[in-house]
Structure 1
Amino acid sequence: MDILISNWSRVRCLPEKYIFPAERRPGNHKVSVSKDIPIIDLERINGPERDQIIQQIIKASQEFGLFQVINHGVSRELMEKTMQMFRQFFESPAEFKARFYSNDLNASCRLYTSTLNYENEEVHYWRDNLTHRCHPLEDHITHWPDDPPYYRKVVAEYSIEVRKFLLMILELICNGMGLESRFFEGELSKNQSLSVNHHIPCPDPSATIGMQAHCDPNLISMLQQGDVCGLQALKDGQWVGVEPLPGAFVVIPGLQLRVISNGKLASATHRVVTDLEKSRTTIGTFLIPSSDVLIQPADCLLGSSAMLYRGYTYEEFFGTFTGNNCEAEMALERFKL
């Protein structure tokens, strides 16, 4: 399994297959950390400041399409334990990790490198990825790694808690936009995946990239960053760094929220760059609609505005999205009215 970068020892020279064409390189990858990215504090969400906090979430989702959340209710201890489990997994012997290597998109647990199209890529991304399906938990947990010890117990607890957190954020968005309570529960958020990216130190971060610029196709995403900066968001045509705040989650509305809100909410374009000296491990969680649920702008959000998108199933959208090389605007164009 030497195609996994997590199996490599210290790399002194960037392999040719990881060197991107000049127009796709990050160049000056060490962009400034933005102080304008909204930070939402949920500590007083059940107090008199609730409405103010909700409006902060709506504004951040409209203007930036990305925000950080602190005091979110998931314990720092659980976050640190979960991160440690994944770091230990990527440090495991190659023979152990080989058990989970798969390019099957439908696998409950799969480990791969770069993308699921590794064999046919002209150039590879500097990352390994471990993806779990994790809801309903009982359908998937037996497919997860059983080592390190307590892996399944810790990661299961984390999966449950971050799902609660994301459903809470969605409920606050309902409150702020005038949608009926629990609008996003059920089929719109039926599936949940946990996606862990691991990037080893890179000998030339200016010539390669950890993950291409993209928008998330799902309903909503969140990221636990760890302590190494690498996430960047596109704001007003410029890349800005998203600071890794201790104990914070980064929340990114997905393209389905953009459609359901009839374009009122944004979904930030983001990418991942590499680091010269440090490994970087991040934990992403995605809430994903069921494949056959009908997605369209919510009637109550139209008002006097014209409907921007026709209805479609998530399966139809995702097929269009991947068929257009994961280009958000090209995929959305097909469904515009």
Structure 2
Amino acid sequence: MELLMSNWTDVQSLPKSYVFPPDRRPGENAFPVCKNVPVIDLEKAEGPDRVETIQQILNASQKFGFFQVINHGVSESLTEDTMSVFKEFFGMPAEYKASFYSNDINKSCRIYSSTLNYDAEEFHYWRDNFTHRCHPVEDHVQDWPERPARYREVVGSYSVELRKFLLRILNLISEGLGIEQGYFEGDLSKIQLLSVNHHIPCPDPCLTLGMPEHSDPNLISMIQQCSVPGLQVFLEGKWMGVEPLPNAFLVIPGLQLKVISNGKFSSPLHRVVTHSDEARTTICSFFIPSHDILIEPAKSLLDADHAPNYKAFTYKEFFSTFTGKNCDGEVALEFFKNKPE
């Protein structure tokens, strides 16, 4: 069977390897929509409402572990062009996409199906993923697709604007926590990945998942959703849908921000369910620390009354533990927690 589902046509039934066991299926029940997702108007951070806006970001990062951002500074025409380019890419001929196929996480530009361990999986997830490094653009653009013809120009501009956006969010977080400005620049945000998930219409969404439940192991993530619902977060003991706002970005602080904030921030479990009638394409961008830099609670957050909750570790050590614990973020973090005496 062709691995990339973006090459499938006229899918009438779910292949057996995509049918999850009953206890892992989303089921037929309608999931509630989270009605109180925090919405941050980033324009207000540059005016008299700056302090209030920063506090909204901190509150959202602590209580929910995610928030939506409007007026983020990336033009609507660029976000629409980028989404259009990625949809074109997934519609390219199978032979062309096959030239990028790889399960090697060290390859700078690749497409794969389900997760990184397709051959070892008992059950597969209903998605294709295309991912590549994008910072600095000039170091990686030669590895990107030459088709669609606009790909390198449009995605290059988008990647640069996303980096500005995420650094702006991180600087506001620094200001709110009382960490020195520029703390998150350099090695803590050295690697920037663009990761695009594509889900074709699913014959039976109650039997499978588009992505596994997980917490993000990196520093920070953003998601440009499409109009087709699918993203869910685990809040208050249940799965809840996150409806996209037009021209908004969803921001999720990763597990490294949870450590640096000394446990103040949360990083929620989230997953993707499938849709029976429409394809769904979403664009994500991640900041990943340099593999050898030490991650630890920011020293400005520590004093006689606030001991570090986590030991110092390298991102390489953490990611190895994370993948070794089946990508369970909380279990992985337990390994690096300081135990009370």
- Match runs of 1:149-188 below 5 Å: 149-188=149-188
1:31, CA displacement in angstroms? 1.4
The alignment partner of 2:265 has SS state of coil
1:3, CA displacement in angstroms? 1.0
1:35, CA displacement in angstroms? 1.1
- Structure 2 residue 272 is matched with structure 1 residue 289: no
Contact preservation (8 Å) 1:29, 1:205: no
Residue by residue, what CA displacement relative to the aligned partner does 1:131-186 show, whole Å, maximum 9, x if unpaired? Answer: 01111212211011010111100000000000110000000000111000111001
- The aligned counterpart of 2:267 is 267
The alignment partner of 1:60 has SS state of helix
1:43, CA displacement in angstroms? 2.0
1:299, CA displacement in angstroms? 1.3
Q: Which stretches of structure 1, 4 residues or longer, exceed 3 Å deviation after superposition? A: none
Contact preservation (8 Å) 1:10, 1:201: no
Identify which range, 6-15 or 53-62, moves more after superposition: 6-15
Unaligned runs of 5+ in 2: none
- The aligned counterpart of 1:309 is 310
1:268, CA displacement in angstroms? 1.4
The alignment partner of 2:223 has SS state of strand
Cα distance in 2, alignment partners of residues 53 and 195 from structure 1: 28
Q: Aligned-pair RMSD on alpha carbons?
A: 1.0
Determine what percentage of the aligned residue pairs are the same residue. 62
1:29, CA displacement in angstroms? 6.1
Cα distance in 2, alignment partners of residues 192 and 26 from structure 1: 31
- The aligned counterpart of 1:279 is 279
1:301, CA displacement in angstroms? 1.0
Unaligned runs of 5+ in 1: none
- The aligned counterpart of 1:95 is 95
- The aligned counterpart of 1:42 is 42
- Structure 2 residue 328 is matched with structure 1 residue 327: yes
- The aligned counterpart of 1:248 is 248
- Match runs of 1:1-337 below 5 Å: 2-28=2-28, 30-303=30-303, 304-337=305-338
The alignment partner of 2:222 has SS state of strand
Cα distance in 1, alignment partners of residues 30 and 86 from structure 2: 26
1:302, CA displacement in angstroms? 2.2
Cα distance in 1, alignment partners of residues 92 and 107 from structure 2: 21
Residue by residue, what CA displacement relative to the aligned partner does 1:212-262 show, whole Å, maximum 9, x if unpaired? Answer: 110000000000001111000111111111111110000000000000111
Residue by residue, what CA displacement relative to the aligned partner does 1:91-122 show, whole Å, maximum 9, x if unpaired? Answer: 11101111111111111100000012111111
Aligned-partner residue type, residue 336 of structure 2: F
Cα distance in 1, alignment partners of residues 244 and 38 from structure 2: 13
Residue by residue, what CA displacement relative to the aligned partner does 1:178-197 show, whole Å, maximum 9, x if unpaired? Answer: 00011100100000000000
